[in-house]
Structures are given as structure tokens and as C-alpha cells.
Structure 1
């Protein structure tokens, strides 16, 4: 069917199209009048995902903001918020509502859940595009009620959001309080062990005591080294010949005696030549020489005896200092061992102190979080009772009905045409008879146009010749 044939059919059956269109418009008008009016109220919430938490001090990155917003939308549209709305508005205390629930469910389930499901059917929660604003829209039959319910959903979400934030913190605070008591007990036990060990070992200041004893050991070791040097020197002098010892060689008295002996020896030798054996001068000189030699020997022996005495005293002193060094070394090692054990107790105390401080800080933080009354959600506006209903919209319904009625009318006209086909143009004759049309004559007898090819004449009225 060509477009020309289509319009000819519509022109012939325009009454059917108008009838169907009129029926559709009438039905739409009747439905618009019969359908109960519904009102829509809307409130908006701002979710600030970048404001840092006043207690934790950490903000939320914008990367997770989309998922966070989707989560908040699901919470608002969830059962928890809806049931909180039921309790806030005391909808579960209405006798008519109870009767309707009993009739609809025969008492199965809970009244709050049933009312919450009914509220959720009229609820629409949508986040704004490219912003952190969430719009809460509620549709119902009563203008005052829809505003109350929309505001109640907003407030219930604020309360739920705060509860979701504070309830885990409250549970954590209770747990941290218990852990704080345990940590405090461990700290006190570690401090008690440290104190007992200090009292048992008689330690006041371990580091100062060890430093003092170490210094004392160094001093004794220095004295021992000096005494050992002196003893070694005395031993070398003791083993040497008496006249080669430095003290003997450097003694003024011995050197003077040696000079006198040398002088007397020279005199005795001279007397031996000049005087006889029994000469008194010779005998006196020899007696003086013998006396000087005895005195020299006595003095040398005295110096050797002093060296021997110094050697023996040095050895005794060396043994005493060696024993003192060994005793002091043992004392220092014992103090070091005590200090190591003391450090173990100190580290236990420090570890217990750090654990207690960490748990105490976490307990304080969670306790503050459990007591907070602020969230990162702010109400931007309050839903007001609408003046005009949001549905049904008469103009929109009539427009839709006109479009649908036109389509139905055209369709119905085409169906009637196909069921009872009429000849309305030369194309219909050519299609139905499969014969060429020679000419067509209009009602005023004027030749209009040629149709087909050579030998085909079309006249103005569109009827076949």
C-alpha cells in the first residue's frame, strides 16, 4: 500500500479514527477524574564526604565517594530507616492500620515490617548528578502526610547514620575499657617485679653504680700495672751484680768511699816501696784501707738489701692488687649481670606502659566517638505540604491518550479496510485486477493526467475509464 492509498483510506474512514480517538480521550478523562489524587513531597540531604571526623581526624577521599553515596541511598531506602519512621510517626498504633494488616496478612509477619513495606512503595531516593546531595521524595494521597513522611525519612536516616557511627564505637569503647584494665594490671605487675628485684639486689641506680665500680676497676688495674713495672725493675736489679746496680753506681757515699779507697791504695803501694813491713804509717794506712773497704761492702750490701726488700714488698703489693683486680672484676661482672636482668624488667615495664597508653588512647577516642551527636549529613531543606497534586496530570494524560487514540484509530481503520477492501484509486484497480488503467474521468469531465504508460489516460475524479 502506497502513501497515497493510505491517506485515501484515512480520508474515507476518518469517522472511525475520530470515534476511537474520542473514546480514548473520554476514557483518559474519566480515569484522571476517578484515580485518587496523589501528592509528592521532597526533602534534600547534603552528605559531606570530605569533612574530617572531629574525633578521629581523618577525612574520606573522593575516590570512594560514589560507593559511599550509593551505600547511603541503600540505607535510606532500607528496612531499618523505614521501621524507624514507623515508630517515629507512631503508625503502628493506629487501629485501622492494625485491622488492615490483620486482614491483608492474617497476622503473619510483623506490623512494623508491613507498614514499612507500604511506605517504601511510595518512597524514591535519588542522588543528584555530580553532587553529594540526596533527594528523598515520598508520594501519597494526603498532602500533609507526605510531607511528614518525607521529613520523617530524612530524620530517621540522620538518626540511623548517627547510630551506625556511635553503636560500633560504643561496643569498641566497652571492649577497650576491658583491655585497659588488663593492660593496667600487666603494667602494675611488671612494675612490681622491677621494684622487687631492685630491693632484692639493693640497686638504687644501676648505671651510676656500674660506672663507679668500672672506674674503680680501672684505677686498681692502673696501680697493678705500675707495681708490676716496679717489681720487674727490682727483680732485674736483684739479679744483677751489686756494683753494677744503678743505686750503687749513683750513690755519692759509695763513690766517695771508692775515691778514698783508691787514694789509700796508692798511698799503701807507695809505703810498701818506701817503708818497711812493720812501719806504723804503713800499718795505719792498710788499716784505714781495710776499714774503707769494709764500709764500702757494708754500704753496697745495704743498698742490695733495700733492693731485695723493695722487690719483696712489690711482689706482695702485686699479689694484693691482682687479688683486688680479680675481686673488682667479679664485682663488675656481677653488676653487669644485675643490670642486664634489671633492663629486662625495665623493658617489660616499658612494653606494658606503651600497651597501656595505646589501649587507653584508643579507649578515649572510641568513647568520644560513642558520645558524638554530629554526623557528616546535613538537611538542606524541610519538605512542605504540597498544594497541587502531582498525579494524575490531566493535560499529560490527555496528550498521551490523544497519541494512543490516534494510533488505535488509524490501526482500527486499516483493519476495517483490509476486512472490506474498497477501490479508492487507480492503484487499487491495478493491484486487484492486475490490468492496466486506460484513463480516469473526473466528475467535471476534464482530463487530468495520464497514468501508466502510452495508451493509459487518467481523469480528474480518480474513477476508472
Structure 2
């Protein structure tokens, strides 16, 4: 089918196309006039998406995401917001709605769920392009009621948004309160263990006490080294006691030196008396007796010096033993203090760790408690809905334009369908197709005549 054939078909069945168009337009107009008028009221809310937390002052990245506005639209269309609208307007107490529910559902199902579905069907939520404004529209036969519903949805959305923000904060506040109580008990228990340990061991200042005991240990170590040196020295001198005359103590003794000097004088006098008087002279005998007495005294004094060296060695040995015992006891004391300090450090760390945890939990508890009591949200009512002056539906002019378009399409489609069911010869091209390509010699112009071959002729033409 070419365009000329299409125009010929429309020309032949123009009244059919026009009739279908008239029927569709008339039906649309009648239905539009008979349908009840619906009024649409719109309330606007603005979403502050700066993403700044009012308490902490920190930026909240979730509000800056592209999906944030879509999430807000879903919240407005949720059953939770519709349920809050029912509560605000007390719709479940309206007998008209309850009767309508019984008529439609025969009393089956939930009345609140039916109300929610009915409200959401009439709700129209549209976010503005490239802005943070959301338009909440609601349609209803009565303009005042439509405005009330739109404003109720806006208020319910604001309340729900605040509730969604406050509820997690309340849950966190409850959790942090419980944890804070547990950590406080742990701090008290750790502090009691620390106090009991200090009281049992008499610890007031662990580091200072350890420093004193360590200094005492170092002093005893120094004393032990000194005593050991003195003991070694006295033992060395004692071993030199065989040569008493050459011992330093003997040589350094003034008494022995004086006695030896006096002995030397007597021995010199004895030599003189020997040469002058002889050995048998009484004077010589008396001098010899004095020399013997003097030598005995020198020997006695020498033995005293040697014996004093042995006594010093014994004293040094005893003192070394005592200092060594004190040193071992002091070393054990220092080790015990170090163990006590280590245990004390562990207990102090337990208290400090519990205190840090308690401080962190207390800070979070304070913040979440404030968040759970906040009454501000980032949603604000921009424009309240007012009673619309004109109805939103049905739109007669728009419906007529659509009806004309659809009626025209339906009429043309009907004409083409009838043409396919009842094929007619509309022009020379149709005749050539029927005659199998035989050329047409001429055409008689008659606008009012339409050639329609009879059955016999059609059979003949079909056979050829």
C-alpha cells in the first residue's frame, strides 16, 4: 500500500473515520463531565542538605550523597508517614471511611492498612529539579480537605524525620548508659584491688621507696668491696708474720723502734765492757741481763703486733660475712619491691584503662543524650498547602485533545481494517493488480461512482 492508496481509502471511508472520532470525543467529554472533580493541594518542604551536625559541628557525608533526596521521597511515601497522618487527622474515627472500608473489603483485613493504601494512592511527591525542595501533593474531591491532607503529610514527614534521627540516638544513649554503669563498677573494683595491695604491702610511693632501697643496696655493695679489700690486705700481712722484723707494722711501731734503739745502745755498751772489764765483771753481767730483758720485751711487742694482724683479719672476715648477709637481704628486698612495683603498675594500668574507657563512654553518653532530646531537624516547611481554586482533574481540554488524537487513530485503524476485510478497487493501481499487470488504457473521471466488481467478474479476474 502506497500513500495514494492510503489517501483513497481515507477518502472513501471518511465518514467512518469522522464517526469514530465523534464517538470517541463525545464519550470522553461525557465521561469527563460526569466524573467527580478532584482538587490537588501542594505543600512544599525544604531539606537542608549542608550535612553539618548541630552538636558536634562535623560534616555528615550521608546528606551530601545523591541518593539522599530519593530517600526522603521514599520516606514521604512510606506507610509510617501515612500512619502518622491518620493519627494527626484522626481518620480512624471517621465513620464514613469505616463504612467505605466495609463495603470494599466486607470487613476483611486491617482498617488502618486500607486507609494507608488509600492515602498513598492519592499522594503525589515530586522533588524539584536541582534543588532541595520537595513538593507534597494530595488530591481529594473537597479542596479544603485536600489542603488539610497535604499539610498533614508535610507535618508527618517532618515529625517522622525527627523521629528517625532521635530513635537511634535514644537507643545509643541507653546502650552507653548501661556500658557506663558496668565500666564504673569495673573502675571501683580495680581501685579497690589497688588500694588493698598498697595497704597490704605498706606502699605509699613505690618509686621513691624503691630508689631508697636501691641506694641502700649500692651502699652495702660498696662496703662489701671495701671490707673484702681490708680482709685481703690483713690476710696478706698475716702471711708475712714469719718475717716479723720486716713487717711494716713492726717497722712502723714507735715503741719497738725505741726498744731497738735502746737495745743497740746496750749492745754497744756491752762490747765496751767486754773489752774493758771482761765478761765476768758484774757490770757486764748486769748489762747482759738488761739486753736479754730488752729483747724479750721487743719480742713480746712484736708478737702483739702480729697477733693484732690476726685479730684484724678475723674482724674483717666477720664484718664481710655480716655485710654480705645484709647485701643479700637488701637485694632480696629490692627484688621484692620491684615485683610489687610491677604488680602495682598493672593495677594502676587497669584503673587508668578503665578510667579512659569510662571517660570516652561518658562523652558519648552526653552527646547521644543531647541528640535524643533534640527537637530540631533539617526539614522545614517552605509553603503550606492552601485550598485550590480550580479542580485538577478531570481536565476537559486535555482529555479532548487526547480524545481527538486517539479517535483519529482509531478511525483510521478501523477504516484500514474494514478495507482489508472487504477489498475494493480504488484506483488504476488496484485495477492493474487485479488484472495481473494489464495496462490501463483510460480512466473515466466520476467522483461519485465506485467500481465494485461482482462475484462472477471477481472470479474471472481471479482466474486470470
Structures share a fold, TM > 0.5? yes
1:333 corresponds to: 335
TM-score for both structures, normalised by structure 1: 0.84
1:308 counterpart residue number: 310
The corresponding residue for 1:343 is: 345
Does the CA-based 8 Å contact 1:49-1:62 persist in structure 2?
A: no
- SS of equivalent to 1:102: helix
Shift of 1:257: 4.8
Deviation string, structure 1 residues 259-316 (Cα, Å, up to 9, x no partner): 5545654564565456522356655664554455344334423322332332232223
In structure 2, C-alpha distance between the alignment counterparts of 1:257 and 1:45, rounded to whole Å: 127
Q: Indicate conservation of the 8 Å contact 2:214/2:334, yes or no.
A: yes
Query: 1:123 offset after TM fit, Å?
Result: 1.3
- What is residue 440 of structure 1 aligned with on the other side? 443
**1:149 and 1:63 mapped to 2: Cα distance?**
28
Change (3 A) 1:154 1:245: farther
Q: What residue number does 2:91 align with?
A: 91
Gaps of 5+ in 1: 444-465
Q: In structure 2, do the counterparts of structure 1 residues 228 and 421 end up closer, same or farther at CA, with 3 Å as the change threshold?
A: closer
Counterpart for residue 367 of structure 2: 365
Q: Tell me the distance in 2 between the aligned counterparts of 1:418 and 1:203.
A: 114
Which is worse superposed, 414-423 or 404-413? 414-423
- Would the alpha carbon gap of residues 302 and 49 (structure 1) be closer, same or farther in structure 2, given more than 3 Å must change? farther
On the 8 A contact 2:51/2:61 being kept in 1, the answer is no
Q: Is 2:126–2:135's contact at 8 Å kept on the other side of the alignment? A: yes
- Counterpart CA distance in 2 for 1:306 and 1:36 is 138
Report the Cα offset of residue 173 of structure 1. 2.4
State the match for 1:277 in structure 2: 279
Aligned 8 A contact 1:50 1:61 in 2: no
Query: Could you tell me which residue of structure 2 aligns to residue 181 of structure 1?
Result: 181
Q: Looking at both structures, which has the greater relative contact order when contacts are Cα pairs under 8 Å and sequence separation is at least 6?
A: 2
Q: Is the 8 A contact 1:49 1:60 kept in 2?
A: no
Secondary structure in 2 aligned to 1:188?
A: helix
Structure-2 residue corresponding to 1:54 = 54
SS in 1 for 2:208: helix
Moved more, 394-403 or 289-298: 289-298
- Tell me the residue number matched to 2:250: 248
Partner of 2:433: 431
Verify: 1:3 aligned to 2:12, yes or no: no
Q: 1:217 to 1:108 in 2, by over 3 A?
A: same
Query: CA 1:133–1:266 in structure 2 vs 1: closer, same or farther (change >3 Å)?
Result: farther
Partners of 2:128 and 2:265 in 1: how far apart? 134
Alpha-carbon distance between aligned partners in 1 of 2:386 and 2:247, rounded to the nearest angstrom: 125
Q: Is the CA contact (8 Å cut-off) linking 2:49 and 2:63 kept in structure 1?
A: no
Q: Would the aligned equivalents of 1:39 and 1:146 in 2 still touch at CA under 8 Å?
A: yes
Q: Deviation at 1:230? A: 1.1
Q: CA offsets per residue over residues 227-272 of structure 1, 9 Å max, x none?
A: 2211221111112132333222334554455455456545645654
Structure 2 counterpart SS, 1:137: strand
Match of 1:463 in 2: none
Q: Quick one: structure 1 residues 221 and 391, their matched pair in 2 at CA, closer, same or farther if it must change by over 3 Å?
A: same
Write the distance in 1 (CA, Å) between the matches of 2:246 and 2:138. Answer: 126
Aligned to 1:411: 413
Is 1:377 aligned with 2:373? no
Gaps of 5+ in 2: 447-464
**What is the number of equivalent residue pairs in this alignment?**
443
- TM-score (normalizing by structure 2): 0.84
Deviations 1:131-165 (A, max 9, x none): 54443232222222222222211211221122222
Aligned CA distance change for structure 1 residues 131 and 280 (closer, same or farther; 3 Å): farther
Q: Quick one: distance in 1 between partners of 2:77 and 2:383?
A: 19
Query: Could you say what the CA RMSD is over the residues aligned between the two structures, in angstroms?
Result: 3.0
Change (3 A) 1:363 1:271: same
Deviation of 1:368 (Å): 1.7
Query: What residue number does 1:452 align with?
Result: none
CA–CA separation in structure 2 for the residues paired with 1:348 and 1:416: 96
Q: Is the 8 A contact 1:50 1:62 kept in 2?
A: no
The 1:157–1:442 alpha-carbon spacing in structure 2 relative to 1, beyond 3 Å, is closer
Partner of 1:457: none
